[in-house]
């Protein structure tokens, strides 16, 4: 038995359960695979982008977005720190094959880590605006929101209720897979994801409820109501006319930032990614300053590095990083403290953004980090009212930038 034959004998979903625990199996069946959150160490994510599937008789996996990694059960074991020899031994054990009964050989499918710009272009090839019949279908799935609806409350808590810059409604009927599994319940918040051309590229549903409740129901937090269009970023109204670009993690987070910036009189194009591994549109990045924001976690840190490389590769004039919020996100501030407050916070974050810098092999910074930045339109003055916020942020970051 050679390595290829050994890979055919190992069930990848079973291996994932063994390596990452049963919780990692949510959304996965051992017969057909599925889509789950990346189970590899150091690749934590909030929204599933890790596909597990069969190609012929061999189980394979692929991460969509993020590092665009892919491979077989062998490659997954390598990601968990197994040496090549130990990985083959473990596969032989799982397959119930004596060690002297097989001959290891180089697997055909090996993990990859391509250039992020090439990755995003590949991801964007899977995205496309709706055709006319899909626009009709999307319209038929959505009904208007009334005050008091749960979907209206979802928008209110994010400062987005009543804003025509985000086309949102409630799901008219449940959305199910072809096998009958329900993906979203009637009444759930649904919003249109428009691309840089202003056309609809996606229709996304946010299932309400606690994480435990959704788990009990077998529902994911976010699903697409119209399939086959990848995971496009949400683009702000009038995208392409801004003085700079802001790319943030999360479509609704991007929408809250866009609305607050408009009210504050700042003209920025905004993209809200479909999670930390989401692919940004390359439109409108060339020659402009690109600002980046992501959650202060492992996935967010990796997201910023990936986005910075993408923006530089796309010809951005400069790439600047916004400091993480001490607590919550843009939607939290908009919902609890108001859009005016969020606008002031965003002005402050833009003014104190830092130049993205690379690190040389010796560990030294290649480009120095600057402590202050004058945003276009004459610069930004940090208001005294933000002093408490700034002190809290300084404490979280250890007083450094």
Q: How far apart are the first and last CA of the chain?
A: 56
Distances in whole angstroms, Cα of residue 348 to Cα of each of 146, 291, 351, 373? 35, 13, 5, 10
Q: How far apart are CA 297 and CA 325, in angstroms?
A: 12
Distances in whole angstroms, Cα of residue 395 to Cα of each of 138, 332, 385, 399? 46, 20, 17, 6
% of the chain surpassing 70 pLDDT: 82
Contact 287, 61 (CB under 8 A): no
Q: List the single range of 107-116, 155-164, 263-272 with lowest mean pLDDT.
A: 107-116
Q: How far apart are CA 365 and CA 208, in angstroms?
A: 44
In the chain, what are the helix, strand and coil shares in percent, each to the nearest 5? 35, 20, 45
Q: How far apart are CA 288 and CA 243, in angstroms?
A: 7
Contacts of 153 (CB under 8 A, 6+ apart): none
Q: Return the domain boundaries, the chain.
A: 3-113, 132-224, 234-396
Exposed e or buried b per residue across 200-232, where buried means at least 16 C-beta atoms within 10 angstroms of its C-beta: bbbbbbbbbeeeeeeeeeebbebbbbbeebbbb
For residue 110, pLDDT over 60 is answered with no
User: What does the pLDDT look like over 114-145, one tens digit per residue?
Assistant: 577 887 887 788 789 999 999 999 999 999 99
Q: Label residue 394 by pLDDT band (50, 70, 90).
A: low
User: What does the pLDDT look like over 186-195, one tens digit per residue?
Assistant: 999 999 999 9
Would residue 69 be called left, alpha or beta, if left means φ above 0 and alpha means ψ between -120 and 50 degrees? beta
Q: Is 152 exposed, middle or buried (0-12, 13-18, 19+ CB in 10 A)?
A: middle
Same fold, 3-113 and 234-396: no
Contact 157, 335 (CB under 8 A): yes
User: What does the pLDDT look like over 2-30, one tens digit per residue?
Assistant: 778 888 889 999 899 888 877 777 778 88
Fold of 234-396: Dna Topoisomerase Vi A Subunit; Chain: A, domain 2 (3.40.1360)
% of the chain surpassing 90 pLDDT: 44
**pTM of model > 0.85:** no
Handedness of CA 281, 284, 285, 286 (dihedral sign): positive
Whole-number pLDDT of residue 372: 43
User: What does the pLDDT look like over 264-316, one tens digit per residue?
Assistant: 999 999 999 988 878 899 999 999 999 999 988 877 888 898 899 999 999 99
- What's the mean pLDDT when you consider all of the chain? 82
User: What does the pLDDT look like over 82-95, one tens digit per residue?
Assistant: 888 888 888 888 88
Q: In this structure, are strands 268-273 and 244-249 parallel, antiparallel, or unpaired?
A: parallel
- Per the model's pLDDT, the better-predicted residue between 323 and 223 turns out to be 323
SS3 category, 384: helix
Q: Which of 40, 54, 165 is nearest to 111 (CA)?
A: 40
Q: How far apart are CA 347 and CA 386, in angstroms?
A: 10
Phi, psi of 301 (to 5 degrees): -65, -45
Whole-number pLDDT of residue 398: 53
For residue 53, pLDDT over 60 is answered with yes
- Tokens 């408490």 correspond to 388
For residue 358, pLDDT over 60 is answered with no
**DSSP per residue over 236-251, as a string?**
-TTTT-SSEEEEEESH
**Is CATH 3.40.470.10 what the domain over 3-113 is classified as, yes or no?**
no
Which neighbouring-strand residues pair with 318? 289
> Rounded to an integer, what is the distance from CA 170 to the centroid of its chain?
23
Q: How far apart are CA 26 and CA 29, in angstroms?
A: 8
């Amino acid at each position: 038995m050679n390595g290829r034959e050994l890979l055919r004998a190992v069930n990848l979903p079973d291996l994932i359960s063994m390596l990452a625990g049963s919780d990692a199996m949510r959304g996965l069946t051992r017969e057909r695979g599925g889509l789950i959150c990346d189970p590899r160490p150091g690749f934590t994510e909030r929204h599933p982008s890790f596909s597990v599937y069969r190609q012929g008789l061999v189980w394979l996996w692929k991460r969509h977005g993020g590092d665009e990694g892919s491979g077989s059960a062998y490659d997954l074991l390598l990601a968990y720190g197994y040496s090549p020899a130990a990985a083959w031994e473990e596969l032989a054990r799982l397959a119930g094959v004596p060690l002297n009964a097989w001959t290891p050989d180089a697997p055909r499918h090996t993990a990859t880590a391509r250039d992020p710009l090439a990755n995003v272009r590949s991801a964007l090839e899977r995205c496309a605006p709706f055709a006319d019949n899909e626009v009709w279908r999307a319209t038929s799935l959505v009904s208007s929101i009334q005050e008091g609806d749960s979907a209206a409350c979802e928008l209110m808590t994010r400062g987005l209720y009543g804003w025509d810059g985000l086309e949102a409604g409630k799901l008219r009927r449940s959305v199910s897979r072809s096998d009958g599994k329900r993906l979203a319940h009637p009444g759930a918040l649904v919003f249109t994801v428009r691309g840089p051309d202003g056309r609809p590229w996606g229709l996304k549903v946010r299932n309400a409820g606690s994480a435990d409740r959704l788990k009990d129901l077998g529902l994911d937090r976010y699903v697409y109501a119209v399939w086959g269009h990848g995971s496009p970023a949400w683009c702000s109204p009038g995208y392409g006319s801004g003085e700079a670009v802001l790319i943030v993690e999360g479509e609704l987070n991007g929408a809250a930032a866009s609305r607050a910036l408009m009210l504050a009189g700042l003209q920025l194009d905004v993209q809200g990614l479909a999670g930390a591994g989401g692919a940004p549109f390359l439109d409108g990045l060339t020659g402009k300053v690109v600002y980046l924001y992501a959650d202060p976690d492992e996935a967010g840190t990796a997201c910023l590095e990936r986005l910075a490389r993408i923006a530089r590769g796309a010809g951005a004039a400069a790439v600047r990083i916004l400091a993480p919020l001490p607590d919550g996100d843009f939607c939290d501030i908009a919902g609890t403290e108001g859009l005016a407050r969020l606008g002031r916070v965003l002005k402050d974050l833009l003014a104190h953004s830092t130049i993205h810098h690379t690190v040389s092999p010796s560990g030294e910074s290649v480009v120095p980090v600057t402590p202050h930045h004058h945003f276009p339109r004459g610069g930004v003055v940090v208001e005294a009212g933000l002093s408490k916020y700034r002190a809290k942020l300084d404490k979280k970051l250890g007083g450094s930038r």
